[in-house]
A and B are shown apart, each in its own frame.
Chain A
């Protein structure tokens, strides 16, 4: 599947959509911390130099600046790597942006393990947990270029603080074109009645692959759900799927604690207690390697998802 599909990094969608937002909305400003080529905000900076602030390697300053800009009527998009956006600048995002319920978009590229070679220092696998735990913060993890483009365009019209996670490597297209909306955040990409697979970001296309494997090799019809908005989670959509299948797997490029797995399990535990197995990162840090090699090492593959599904179904 992946070999035949076109692929683009979700971070590229960020850069493309940001540029378009800049054209239509003069109050949109962008900030970056010396990673504008990587995060793709550089295009905006070139087109709108007066509305672009590169702060150098000073992420805490950047997030608090975004607070001040938003408090004065601007709509800031602040980009850096996920590790720095949520780890280094947590307190600045918390007090200045989330607490104040300001329309700042914290736009993190290089989320998860799939950035590859840079290794553990850069592989942020706790960001969804941190941002989910933060009061008032919305958490958006788009699945591919097309959805990421819509997520960025739509973020302008959504109220309140928002964290958006993009990835480094090219991600196979899950959507043939830019979808009309993210809606409440969960799309059923493949229908099935045997098991629910909830996935986000870079794991969605792998979940679709896993579903094909399960259908072909096991005669199992998996329902694949793309959870693009991890918070606030569309619990009705989660419950509807769990009601159809009665068993689930989650898949994310993130620690098993605090992320999508916890979000789905909370809904299940409180309202529809069924087994929910997690595909994600155990209690350890990442390592250097190519994107594919690292994902393989940590079991973040279609085979890993299929194996978890078989285990869940055998219970």
Chain B
């Protein structure tokens, strides 16, 4: 596997972050190919956001996963666990080889994030709609403890936005004046039964957050400069911040990108091979771009 620096770096360049996202995507393909189970396309749509968070924006210390002043990351879309597992392993929260235990009996990497088993997981998720409320609890506890500069980042999905509880949380976060929290929506437009628009159109999610009293922006969730800018802006916004990211499910792997029918379906061996070859080529290009003197 390609080597990657494991130290979170506030000065990581956009090019480095883009390359890191490719590395995380490759990790996901490998994990799912071995596990033969899980949600690959949902992990791939989050890769750029997760790379920006773990490799640049989050203040975290893999040597002290429970450091009280760390920023918290909550994966409300718990089915996207592989992308978080890849980021955690790349930062040394647990050995890289653990990734190959995904979803296997007696391995700590459960099908959905489990705080009781995996270092770096703040709360267990997997039942959509609960992550934003859990994040509110965390943000309030941090505020009570006087470490309100620690920030909570919650990654949600289109499905999360269909769960009523997410809007209970959105209302409460504004009501309690919580500003040490950012909701990020990985809006990839595909869910289990079809497109989000067909199954249950959530309408304008940015406008909805706005109407609940948030500062909400909408960006391209694969545009790394925009992602970094929005995440860094969200730390200092005066109201709770929402970043609605327009994304493509399966991003980076042409055979599944934006295509219905891959949700919860692992890649067949030949599909995994094809995906890795495509990502490998991208990685080589991105690595070349990082070489000094270019």
Q: Do A and B bind each other?
A: yes
> A residues touching B (Cβ–Cβ < 8 Å)?
29, 50-51, 53, 55-56, 58, 60-74, 76, 91-92, 95-96, 99-101
Neighbour of B116 across the interface among A67, A70, A99, CB < 8 A: A99
From A56, A65, A91, B137 is in contact (CB under 8 Å) with A65
In the assembled complex, how far is the CB of residue B117 from the closest CB belonging to chain A, in whole angstroms?
11
Provide the bound-state CA to CA distance between A56 and B138, in Å.
Answer: 19
B116 and A101 contacting across the interface, CB-CB below 8 Å? yes
Least CB distance from A27 to B in Å reads 9
Q: Could you mark each residue 110-127 of chain B with 1 if its beta carbon is under 8 Å from any beta carbon of chain A, else 0?
A: 000011100000111111
**Please, which residue of chain B has its CB at the minimum distance from the CB of A59?**
B168
Contact yes or no, A71 B136, CB < 8 A: no
Partner of A65 from B126, B140, B142 at Cβ < 8 Å: B140
Contact assessment for A53 and B124 in the assembled complex, using a CB-CB cutoff below 8 Å: no
Give the nearest-CB partner of B170 in chain A. Answer: A61
B169 touches A61 (CB 8 A): yes
B130 located at the interface, meaning its Cβ lies under 8 Å from any Cβ of chain A in the complex: yes
* Residues of chain B lying within 8 A (CB to CB) of residue A101: 116
Please tell me if the beta carbons of A60 and B122 are within 8 angstroms of each other in the complex. Answer: no
In the complex the two chains form, is A91's CB within 8 Å of B127's CB?
yes
Q: Which chain A residues lie closer than 8 Å to B164 at the CB level?
A: 60
Say yes or no for B282: interface residue by CB 8 A criterion.
no
Q: Which of B145, B172, B175 touches A73 (beta carbons < 8 Å)?
A: B145
A69 touching B130, Cβ below 8 Å: no
CB of A68 within 8 A of CB of B165, answer no
- Complex contact A95–B127 (CB within 8 A): yes
Q: Judging by beta carbons under 8 Å apart, are B144 and A65 in contact?
A: no
Q: B130 to A53, Cβ gap below 8 A?
A: no
Contacting A at CB under 8 A, from B51-95, are none
State how many angstroms separate the Cβ of B213 from the closest Cβ of chain A. Answer: 14
- Whether a CB of chain A sits under 8 angstroms from the CB of B179 is no
Besides A50-B144, A68-B135, 16 new A-B residue pairs in contact (Cβ under 8 A), listed by A number: A29-B141, A55-B168, A56-B175, A60-B130, A64-B169, A67-B137, A68-B133, A68-B138, A68-B140, A69-B138, A71-B122, A71-B134, A91-B127, A91-B130, A95-B130, A99-B116
* Cα-based distance from A51 to B124 in the complex (angstroms): 24
B133 surroundings in chain A (CB, below 8 A): 60-65, 67-68, 92
Complex Cα spacing A101 to B135, Å: 18
The residues of A that contact B142 with a CB separation of less than 8 Å are 72
Q: Does B217 contact A (CB under 8 A)?
A: no
> Does A55 contact B137, Cβ atoms closer than 8 Å?
no
In the complex, residue of chain A having the shortest beta-carbon distance to the beta carbon of B147: A72
Main secondary structure on B side of the interface with A: helix
Whether B172 contacts A96 by the Cβ 8 Å rule is: no
A100 to B127 CA separation, bound complex (whole angstroms): 13
B176 lies within 8 A of chain A by Cβ: yes
Evaluate contact between A61 and B172: CB separation under 8 angstroms: yes
Question: B169-210, CB under 8 A of A: which get 1 and which 0?
Answer: 101100110000000000000000000000000000000000
Q: How many residues of B contact A (CB 8 A)?
A: 32
Looking at the assembled complex, report how far the CB atom of B199 sits from the nearest CB atom of chain A, in whole angstroms. 20
Contact of A61 among B126, B139, B144, B168 (CB under 8 A): B168
What number of residue pairs across chains A and B have CB atoms under 8 A from each other?
105
Counting chain A CB atoms within 10 Å of each CB, the highest count among B122, B133, B142, B171 belongs to: B133
Q: Are B124 and A96 closer than 8 Å at their CB atoms?
A: yes
Q: Cβ of A29 and Cβ of B168 under 8 Å apart?
A: no
Whether B145 lies near A68 (C-beta < 8 A) is: no
Q: Nearest residue in A to B139 (C-beta to C-beta)?
A: A68
Of all chain B residues, which has the CB nearest A60?
Answer: B165
Chain A residues whose CB sits within 8 angstroms of the CB of B134 once the complex forms = 64-65, 67-68, 71, 96
Query: For residue A92, which residues in chain B have a CB less than 8 angstroms away from its CB?
Result: 130, 133, 165
Other-chain residue from B129, B140, B169 in contact with A69 (beta carbon distance below 8 A): B140
Cα–Cα distance between A101 and B168 once the two chains are bound (Å) = 24
State the Cβ distance, B3 to closest chain A Cβ, in Å.
33
In Å, the complex CA distance between A73 and B145 comes to: 9
Is the beta-carbon distance between B144 and A29 smaller than 8 angstroms?
yes
Q: Give the 6 A-B residue pairs with the shortest CB-CB distance, closest first.
A: A68-B137, A64-B133, A72-B141, A61-B168, A58-B168, A65-B137
Q: Is B124's CB under 8 angstroms from A95's CB?
A: yes
A66 contact set on B, CB distance < 8 A: 137
13 pairs of residues in contact across A and B, judged by CB atoms under 8 Å: A64-B130, A65-B172, A67-B137, A68-B134, A68-B137, A68-B138, A69-B138, A72-B141, A72-B142, A91-B130, A95-B126, A96-B124, A100-B116
Question: Which among A65, A66, A73 has the highest number of chain B CB atoms within 10 Å?
Answer: A65
A171 to B163, CA, bound (A): 40
Q: From the candidates A55, A62, A68, name the one contacting B141 in the complex (CB within 8 A).
A: A68
Pair B172/A74 contact, Cβ less than 8 Å: no
Output the least CB separation between B180 and chain A (Å).
Answer: 12
Other-chain residue from B123, B136, B140, B175 in contact with A100 (beta carbon distance below 8 A): B123
| Contact call B144/A74, Cβ cutoff below 8 A | yes
* B144 to A: closest C-beta gap in Å: 7
Contact yes or no, B137 A71, CB < 8 A: yes
Enumerate chain B residues within 8 angstroms of A64, measured Cβ to Cβ: 130-131, 133-134, 136-137, 165, 169
Set B127, B130, B144, B171: member contacting A58, Cβ < 8 A? B171
B254 to chain A: closest CB distance in Å? Answer: 35
A18 CB → nearest B CB, Å: 17
Which B residues from 12 to 51 make CB contacts under 8 A with A? none
List chain B residues, Cβ under 8 A from A72.
Answer: 137-138, 141-142, 145
Residues of chain A with a CB closer than 8 A to B169's CB:
61, 64-65
Q: Which of A69, A72, A95 has the most CB of B within 10 A?
A: A72
- Tell me how far the C-beta of B133 lies from the nearest C-beta in chain A, rounded to whole angstroms: 3
